[in-house]
Amino acid sequence: MPKNENVFFSAAARAGAWRHRVASRLVHAGWRRLQSAGAVTAARPGPYRFGAIGHGTRLAFPQGTVFGEPWIHLGEYCIIGEQVTLTAGMMPGLDLGPEPILRLGNGVVLGRGSHVVASVPVVFGNDVYCGPYVYVTSDNHSYDDTAQPVGKQWPRTAPVEIGAGSWLGSGCVILPGARLGRNVVVAAGAVVRGEVPDFAVVAGAPARIVRRWEPETGWQPPLRTPAPVPIPDDVTPDQLVALRVLDERLGARLTEVLQGPPPGAVPGPQQEPANEALDERS
C-alpha cells in the first residue's frame, strides 16, 4: 500500500527548497557583482592612491589591509588575490621620503591572504609568483630587553629582494634581510633568511638549499621527472580539447588490447588464411 503523504507539508518543503535555491543564486550573483565593482585597477583605483599602478594590474575584492599607498609601486599585469595585505611604513600617515618602499615588478602574482609588510625597501622582480598565504616582511620583532614585552620592543628591519622569475610556495615566510636570486623556488612552509643564489630550491625552517642548478652539471640532485613539454603558442583551446578526447579514446583502446577480451566472451568467427582456402578449393 502507498504510504500516507501529507500534501501540505510536502508542498511547503518543495517551496522552501525552491526559495533557498533562488536565494543562493541571488547571493552568489550579487557577490560576483561586488567582486567586479570592488576590484582595484589603474582605471578604477577606488579609495587607494598608489604611487604607481601599471596597466593590466588588478587587486581582487575584498582587499586586505592597505596603507602607505604613495610609497607602493605596482608594475604591469600584476594579479593581487583577495585579502592580500600591502603596507608601506609601520603605520598609516607616515612620511617615508621620496623613494618607493614596496615595489612589485611586472607580472607579479600574490596569492590569496598573502602579506607584504615593508618599512624599508622590499622589491619583487618581474614574474614572481606567490602561492596563498605567503608572508614577506622587512620587519621582525626583537627581544633584546628581557624586562620588556617582545611586542613593545623596537623591531629589527632590513631590506628584502625577491629575484625575477621566482616561485614562493604556500605559507612560506621571507624574513628581513633575505635576498633571493633569479628563479628561486621556495617550498611551502619554508622560513627564509639570508641570501639564496640563482636557480636554487630551498625548503625547511630555517630554509636550506636542497637542489641547485649549475651550468656544468645541471640540476643537482637530478630532477626525478623529465621536464614538461610546453604547449606551442599557435595551438588553440579547441585543438587542445580535441587532442584530449583523442588521447582518451586511444588510451581506452590500448587498455582493451592489452587486457584482452573479458572473461566469458565468445570469440567471433575467424577468417581462414588465404593460402589454406585456396588449397581446399583446388
* Residues classed as catalytic: 141
Strand segments, DSSP code E, in 93-251 are 102-104, 109-110, 115-118, 122-124, 129-130, 135-137, 139-140, 156-157, 160-162, 167-168, 173-174, 179-180, 185-186, 191-192, 195-196, 200-203, 208-214, 218-220
- In this structure, is the dihedral angle defined by the CA atoms of residues 256, 257, 259 and 264, taken in order, positive or negative? positive
- Give the integer Cα–Cα distance in Å for 115 and 64: 9
Report in angstroms the alpha-carbon separations of 143 from 120, 147, 149, 160, 173: 20, 9, 8, 21, 19
Alpha helices in the chain (DSSP H): 7-38, 237-259, 274-281
Length of the chain: 282
The H or E element spanning position 59 is strand 58-59
Q: Are 58 and 41 in contact (CB under 8 A)?
A: yes
Closest among 103, 105, 39 to 70, alpha carbons compared: 103
Phi-psi region of 202 (alpha: psi -120 to 50; beta: other; left: phi over 0): beta
